Amino acid sequence: MKRRALISVSDKKGVVEFAQALVELGFEVVSTGGTFKTIKSAGVEVKYVTEITGFPEILDGRVKTLHPKVHGGILARRTPDHLEQLKDNDITPIDVVAVNLYPFRETIAKAGVTFEEAIENIDIGGPAMVRASAKNHASVTIVVNPDRYDGIVAELKEKGVVSAETRRQLALEAFAHTAEYDSAIAAYLKGQCEGLKDKEAECEDCGLAIFAEGTVEKVQDLRYGENPHQKAAFYKEVAYQGAGAGTAKQLWGKELSFNNLLDLNAALELVREFDDPAVTIIKHNNPCGTAIAGTLEEAYIKAFDADPVSAFGGITACNRPVDVATAQELVKTFMEAVIAPSYEAEALEVLKTKKNLRIMEVGSLEGAAPSYDLKKIRGGFLLQDGDYGQIKAEDLKVVTERTPSEEELRDLLFAWKVVKHVKSNAIVVAKDGVAIGVGAGQMNRVGSAHIALEQARGTAIGTEKEASPDLDSWLSKGAVLASDAFFPFKDTVEMAAKYGIAAIIQPGGSVRDEESIEACNRLGLTMVFTAMRHFKH
């Protein structure tokens, strides 16, 4: 009896040569639809699937291979009992299955694609055959990747069979193929659910769809991880579409490192908070300088001047296309990378004078789909919504006798956006749209405040000069302070007042809130509560 192979592929690469090689090796090739036409038109001997099922395609091609003569041939163990059942039902075993699936991701990526078009590109028969073949890989060779054809043919020519080890590897690839496919569909449908106007029709439990966002494909191996003794690789979410560090295009410079990618992500997420031209410089996942201004060049200069020592070797992000003036400022110091929506042609040439500078382009920051935050722990992982909470002026609760001025209010909201992107415990000091002091990752809040206030004091006086011991003469008196979580004690307020801080923004919610409020009133500060915290671990 001839061995049988079933071929039904969306990706036609190499399929004619593969079918021809199988025929020459004594296989009977069975196929469907466009694959059948491709193989037949090349002059290769092939049977249409209806010839073996004795049943026509129905429902506009939705049902072609969903038939016992297909799935019985795939799923049968090569045992006497199963083979006898095949014989009784006139079913021929299928030994090789080559299937890859309708291009769902490519379909939904097309501009103007309708929901109905997307649904019609959900493959049913293909995944069923792939999974059945992979389950029965002890007897069946399943091929979902055209790059595997040559190796399979080589094994068949050399040994007459495909080895058990190869079949198991191919089964793994097959299940990964269908998992990725189903995840892309789940993520798409979740997006459709979230877009429904009828809130009652929304999914209350999209757990599977949420997990689908984590489905990834390997992009590249990295030189190493956080440290040279750690191996690392970069994977991207297959379903995510939009601007992000994971989808950015590298235009120039050295290969990206593990730490580069982490910092690029942190930098981009911060500047997308702002409507005004904004620039941030990131070191070790924390912003050492952030500013908004009337122009991108001005924002960069202010962000850099806030902490030029830490800025050296940093990652810079811009929320506007980079112009020539900004590029000329950028190349004045050593930066590891810059990321922005786009670059003027002349600006790009200026940046390319730094041969190792990694230049990343992400496209428009508007309308990017929200993503999820995943953190790995030993033996599992934690998954949560991204921290996309926004606070507007009308959301703030003034809890002190004095109300913030318009200038203070603008700086409070600016500082609140920045502190969200600083590792907890986090304190940010800001003035005139510039983060002039950042305290990050301390074990107590007053420690973070001390770091931020001292840095702000040094920024105001000038890093080239000795800090004045007279705090009342501090040049940035009137700055504001943001805290990512509530004050457990009044000590931070009292310290802030000594450094000339005029206004404070914090979530509130401590059992000692009244002590902090009383201290503000006594010392002449204004304080507002957000009722929202921004822990970042």
DSSP 519: H
Total number of domains in the chain: 3
Helices (H), 345-470: 345-351, 406-419, 445-461
**67: annotated active-site residue:** no
Kindly write down the DSSP assignment for every residue of 7-76, as one continuous string: EEES--TTHHHHHHHHHHTTEEEEE-HHHHHHHHHTT---EEHHHHH----BTTTTBSS-SHHHHHHHH-
Of 40, 47, 135, 236, which residue is the catalytic one?
A: 135
Question: Same structural domain for residues 149 and 17?
Answer: yes
* Confidence at residue 500, expressed as pLDDT on a 0 to 100 scale: 94
> Which of 166, 189, 212 is the last residue before a domain boundary?
189
Residues 27 and 161 in one domain: yes
Q: Is residue 488 part of a domain?
A: yes
Regarding whether 87 and 183 lie in a shared domain, the answer is yes
Q: Which amino acid is at 263?
A: D
Looking at the domain assignment, is residue 107 inside a domain?
A: yes
CA distance 366 to 369: 9
Q: At what angle do helices 513-523 and 491-498 cross, to 10 degrees?
A: 20
Residue 487: DSSP 8-state: -
Whether residue 132 lies inside any domain: the answer is yes
| 33 and 180 part of one domain | yes
- Reading the chain (537 residues) residue by residue, the pLDDT tens digits are 679 999 999 889 999 999 999 999 999 999 988 888 999 999 999 999 888 887 887 787 777 778 888 888 899 988 899 888 888 888 889 999 999 887 777 777 777 778 888 888 787 888 899 999 999 999 999 999 999 999 999 999 998 999 999 999 999 999 988 888 887 787 777 767 655 544 433 444 444 334 444 467 788 899 999 999 999 999 887 667 788 998 899 999 999 999 999 999 999 999 999 999 999 999 999 999 999 999 999 999 999 999 999 999 999 999 999 999 999 999 999 999 999 999 999 999 999 999 999 999 999 998 766 677 888 888 888 888 889 888 999 999 999 999 999 999 999 999 999 999 999 999 999 999 999 999 999 999 999 999 999 999 886 655 434 444 444 444 468 999 999 999 999 999 999 999 999 999 999 999 999 999 999 999 999 999 999 999 998
Q: How far apart are CA 427 and CA 415, in angstroms?
A: 9
d(CA 383, CA 518): 39
Q: Do 399 and 347 belong together in one domain?
A: no
Of 342, 361, 380, the domain-final residue: 361
In a domain, 150, yes or no: yes
299 and 421 share one domain: no
Same domain assignment for residues 7 and 58: yes
Within this chain, do residues 355 and 433 fall inside the same structural domain, yes or no? Answer: no
Q: What is the Cα 69 distance to its own chain's centre?
A: 43
N-terminal to C-terminal alpha carbon distance within the chain: 64
Residue 284 annotated to the active site: yes
Give residue 290's domain range. Answer: 253-361
Catalytic residue among 40, 284, 352, 477: 284
Q: Note whether 394 and 459 are same-domain residues.
A: yes
Residues 457 and 326 reside in one and the same domain:
no
Structural domain contains residue 234: no
Same domain, 265 and 303: yes
327 in the same domain as 396? no
- Residue 336 and residue 360: Cα distance in Å, rounded? 11
Q: Which of 171, 189, 207 is the last residue of a domain?
A: 189
Domain CATH code at residue 397: 3.40.140.20
Beta strand 96-100 pairing with 278-283: unpaired
